[in-house]
């Protein structure tokens, strides 16, 4: 996470750089207004390019530093600033290219301006090449001679795209008759991903990924197919999506079993607008993440999503019926029911999220520059720095380091917070932000007793981040069934991404094979066991 010093320094630097950029642009505009010669216009363009290059380099530096942040919370200013910087960088680079001398409409400017060296990397060697040879003249343009001898060649490479192509695969089953017994012999019909359907597995995988990974609603996909000359209305696409979801139900059940076999889970939820009679209601998508990598576990990561019409506490209790272990989450009261004494087979162990505890203090420190909030953030960041050094180590090693190095930092922080809160009103925003941690000391310090527990619940927040972004595209789920269908598909595609598997390649291969795979071998199709058929296009994403 950003420290306050980092945020303040970068903000001041950003403001100074923007002021300098504005001053340079103003001088360039005055020079362009007064100048009329091609040489002066070229000098102005060069000055503008140098200024833009400096701004672009600085923005790239800031973005790179923010991406290295491993504990940033999704709702803090850092995420918003990163999106803003990336958008500003895109606009600057576009303007930079537009103002480039080689793109200038005035030939005089192009002739006098210096050439820029972009330092571009060569195009990938494994991409197919199409060689286009420009015909040379048959006579020398200088003397008219015909004795031309090839000296060499210059090759300019241009990246081009080929629009996707559609084809119809005809599966032919020939019939034969036996001359001896008059029996008719014919190979059995192959299985299809969809019964009586005409869609192949790669087409279905593309539709599913566009809907649940790229968040492209089916009506927009139908319009895109129409532009390419393929008539697929929205109802047909919806039938295919529903059929695929039903086909993949066994794999969703296996992912659920794998997630609930863990003894430590991350839990979170996010809103999902659901279309109701004459209005929309706010449903919920819950996610439960198994991620053993922070403590060196060998079990593959996975996430299981569930849908509900509301946010009542009965839903996580129902989802985790019979499960016992450590549940890492925010302070939502619905999870506390799982930790009550008397729960069968046993109460879960709640673990707090230090990112949530830091968030309120961070906002006050950033906005009001309050000294107590700044000091609290500094102390919490020291805990994060110490924890970062043991990420990925074994649970025993993490526990040992925590008792030696991190426990004193936590104890000092809690004592300082208690003493600070005693000296201010309980209605003070800083006291309220500190009390978020002080009222839940047991859940925030339980990580000091178990090396498997993480400092934050960021694993669950990362799993639902794509859904939060996708809501702006698909607006709402069509029904409760649609929410349940989305939960099942998100369980599959997000688990693929957690295991660094290309979801579209995985779906295409699995849809082609699942009906031919016996139940005892279905686990071979799970993302972490998946071995694609020997085809060039079905590979695990690097």
The Cα angle at residue 222 between residues 221 and 228, in degrees rounded to 5: 90
Judge whether 499 and 493 are in contact, CB under 8 Å: no
| Whether 361 and 335 share a structural domain | no
| Whether 473 and 333 share a structural domain | yes
- The reported pLDDT for the residue numbered 539 is 38
- The residues, any chain, with a CB within 8 Å of residue 402's CB and separated by 6 or more, are 387, 390, 447, 448, 451
- The reported pLDDT for the residue numbered 414 is 96
Q: Is 21 contained in some domain?
A: yes
| Whether 368 and 486 share a structural domain | no
Structure tokens at 380: 């919490």
Judge whether 489 and 510 are in contact, CB under 8 Å: no
Mean pLDDT of the residues in the chain: 82
Query: How would DSSP label each residue in 242-297?
Result: HHHHHHTHHHHHHHHHHHHT-SEEEEEEEEEEEEETTEEEEEEEEEEEE--GGGT-
Structure tokens at 349: 């162990």
Burial classification of residue 55, based on how many CB atoms lie within 10 Å of its CB (0-12 exposed, 13-18 middle, 19 or more buried): buried
Q: Is 507 contained in some domain?
A: no
Q: Tell me the whole-structure pTM to 2 decimals.
A: 0.74
| Whether 273 and 406 share a structural domain | no
- The reported pLDDT for the residue numbered 10 is 47
Assess whether pLDDT exceeds 60 at residue 393. yes
| Whether 339 and 478 share a structural domain | yes
Q: Is 204 contained in some domain?
A: no
Q: What is the mean pLDDT of residues 393-401?
A: 94
Q: Is 536 contained in some domain?
A: no
Q: What is the mean pLDDT of residues 505-531?
A: 93
94 three-class SS? helix
Report the percent of the chain where pLDDT is more than 90: 45
- The reported pLDDT for the residue numbered 282 is 82
Structure tokens at 452: 């498997």
What region, left, alpha or beta, does residue 325 occupy, with left being phi > 0 and alpha being psi -120 to 50 degrees?
A: left
List the beta bridge partners of residue 281.
274
| Whether 463 and 339 share a structural domain | yes
Count up the domains in the chain and report the number: 3
Assess whether pLDDT exceeds 80 at residue 438. yes
pLDDT tens readout for residues 454-487 = 999 999 999 988 887 777 666 566 678 888 998 9
Q: Is 372 contained in some domain?
A: yes
Report the percent of the chain where pLDDT is more than 70: 74
Assess whether pLDDT exceeds 60 at residue 417. yes
| Whether 269 and 302 share a structural domain | yes
pLDDT tens readout for residues 276-319 = 666 777 889 999 999 999 999 999 999 999 999 888 989 999 99
| Whether 431 and 286 share a structural domain | no
Q: How far apart are CA 252 and CA 263, in angstroms?
A: 20
- The reported pLDDT for the residue numbered 536 is 38
Q: What is the mean pLDDT of residues 387-395?
A: 93
Structure tokens at 212: 């649940």
- The reported pLDDT for the residue numbered 7 is 41
Assess whether pLDDT exceeds 50 at residue 400. yes
Q: What is the mean pLDDT of residues 214-241?
A: 90
- The reported pLDDT for the residue numbered 21 is 58
Judge whether 507 and 205 are in contact, CB under 8 Å: yes
Assess whether pLDDT exceeds 90 at residue 102. no
User: Domain span at residue 342?
Assistant: 250-351+458-499
Q: Is 237 contained in some domain?
A: no
Assess whether pLDDT exceeds 90 at residue 136. no
Q: How far apart are CA 251 and CA 257, in angstroms?
A: 10
| Whether 336 and 389 share a structural domain | no
| Whether 27 and 98 share a structural domain | yes
pLDDT band per the 50, 70, 90 thresholds, residue 150: confident
Terminal CA-CA length for the chain: 27
Q: What is the mean pLDDT of residues 141-149?
A: 85
Adjacency order of strands within the sheet including 279-290: 302-308, 279-290, 264-276, 326-328, 349-351
The Cα angle at residue 291 between residues 287 and 297, in degrees rounded to 5: 160
- The reported pLDDT for the residue numbered 356 is 92
Q: Is 319 contained in some domain?
A: yes
| Whether 380 and 393 share a structural domain | yes
Q: How far apart are CA 102 and CA 526, in angstroms?
A: 51
Residue 320 DSSP one-character state: T
Assess whether pLDDT exceeds 50 at residue 2. no
Structure tokens at 538: 């079905």
Assess whether pLDDT exceeds 80 at residue 98. no
Other Cβ atoms within 10 Å of 95 Cβ, number: 13
pLDDT tens readout for residues 155-200 = 888 888 888 888 888 889 899 999 888 899 998 877 778 777 788 9
Look at residues 54, 87, 112 and tell me which one is the last residue of a structural domain.
Answer: 112
pLDDT tens readout for residues 240-254 = 998 999 999 999 999
Structure tokens at 216: 């492209």
Least confident range from 40-54, 231-245, 285-299, 431-445: namely 40-54
Name the residue among 541, 538, 542 with its Cα closest to residue 205. 538
Cis peptide before 345 (omega within 30 of 0): yes
- The reported pLDDT for the residue numbered 397 is 94
pLDDT tens readout for residues 48-60 = 666 666 666 666 6
Assess whether pLDDT exceeds 50 at residue 228. yes
| Whether 437 and 396 share a structural domain | yes
Other Cβ atoms within 10 Å of 145 Cβ, number: 8
Least confident range from 62-71, 89-98, 407-416: namely 62-71
Q: Is 222 contained in some domain?
A: no
Other Cβ atoms within 10 Å of 90 Cβ, number: 11
């Amino acid at each position: 996470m950003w420290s306050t010093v980092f945020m303040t320094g970068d903000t001041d630097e950003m403001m100074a750089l923007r002021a300098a950029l504005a001053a340079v642009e103003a001088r360039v505009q005055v020079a362009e207004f007064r100048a009329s010669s091609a040489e002066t216009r070229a000098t102005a363009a060069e000055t503008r390019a140098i200024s833009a290059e400096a701004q672009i380099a600085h923005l790239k530096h800031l973005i790179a530093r923010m991406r290295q942040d491993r504990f940033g919370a999704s709702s803090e200013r850092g995420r918003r600033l990163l999106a803003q910087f990336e958008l500003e960088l895109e606009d600057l680079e576009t303007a930079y290219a537009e103002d480039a001398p080689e793109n200038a409409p005035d030939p005089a400017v192009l002739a006098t301006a210096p050439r820029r060296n972009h330092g571009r990397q060569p195009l990938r060697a494994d991409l197919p090449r199409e060689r286009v040879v420009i015909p040379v003249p048959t006579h020398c343009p200088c003397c008219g001679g015909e004795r031309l001898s090839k000296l060499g060649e210059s090759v300019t490479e241009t990246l081009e795209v080929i629009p996707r192509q559609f084809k119809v695969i005809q599966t032919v089953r020939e019939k034969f008759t036996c001359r001896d017994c008059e029996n008719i012999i014919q190979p059995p019909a192959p299985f299809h991903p969809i019964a009586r359907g005409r869609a192949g597995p790669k087409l279905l995988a593309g539709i599913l990924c566009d809907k649940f990974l790229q968040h492209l609603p089916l009506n927009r996909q139908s319009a895109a197919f129409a532009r390419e000359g393929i008539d697929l209305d929205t109802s047909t696409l919806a039938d295919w999506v529903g059929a695929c979801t039903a086909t993949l139900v066994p794999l969703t059940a296996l992912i659920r079993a794998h997630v609930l076999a863990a003894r430590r889970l991350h839990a979170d939820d996010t809103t999902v607008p659901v279309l109701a009679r004459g209005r929309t209601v706010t449903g919920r998508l819950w996610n439960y993440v198994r991620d053993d990598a922070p403590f060196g576990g060998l079990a593959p990561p996975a996430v299981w999503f569930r849908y509900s019409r509301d946010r009542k506490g009965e839903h996580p209790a129902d989802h985790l019926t019979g499960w016992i272990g450590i549940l890492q989450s925010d302070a939502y009261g619905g999870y506390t029911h799982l930790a009550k004494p008397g729960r069968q087979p046993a109460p879960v162990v709640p673990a707090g999220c230090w990112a949530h505890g830091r968030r309120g203090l961070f906002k006050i420190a950033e906005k009001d520059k309050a000294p107590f909030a700044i000091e609290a953030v500094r102390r919490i960041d020291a805990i994060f720095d110490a924890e970062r050094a043991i990420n990925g180590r074994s649970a025993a090693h993490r526990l040992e380091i925590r008792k030696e190095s991190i426990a004193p930092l936590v104890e000092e922080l809690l004592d300082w917070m208690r003493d600070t809160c005693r000296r201010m009103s309980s209605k003070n925003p800083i006291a309220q932000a500190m009390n978020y941690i002080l009222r839940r000391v047991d859940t925030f310090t339980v990580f000091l007793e178990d090396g498997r527990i993480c400092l934050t619940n960021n694993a669950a927040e990362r799993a639902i981040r794509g859904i939060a972004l996708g809501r702006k595209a698909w607006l709402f789920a069509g029904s409760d069934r649609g929410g349940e269908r989305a939960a099942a598909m998100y369980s599959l595609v997000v688990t693929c991404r957690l295991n660094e598997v290309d979801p579209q390649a995985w779906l295409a291969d699995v849809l082609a094979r699942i009906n031919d795979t016996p139940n005892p071998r279905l686990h071979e199709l799970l993302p972490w066991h998946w071995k694609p058929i020997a085809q060039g296009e079905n590979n695990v994403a690097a």
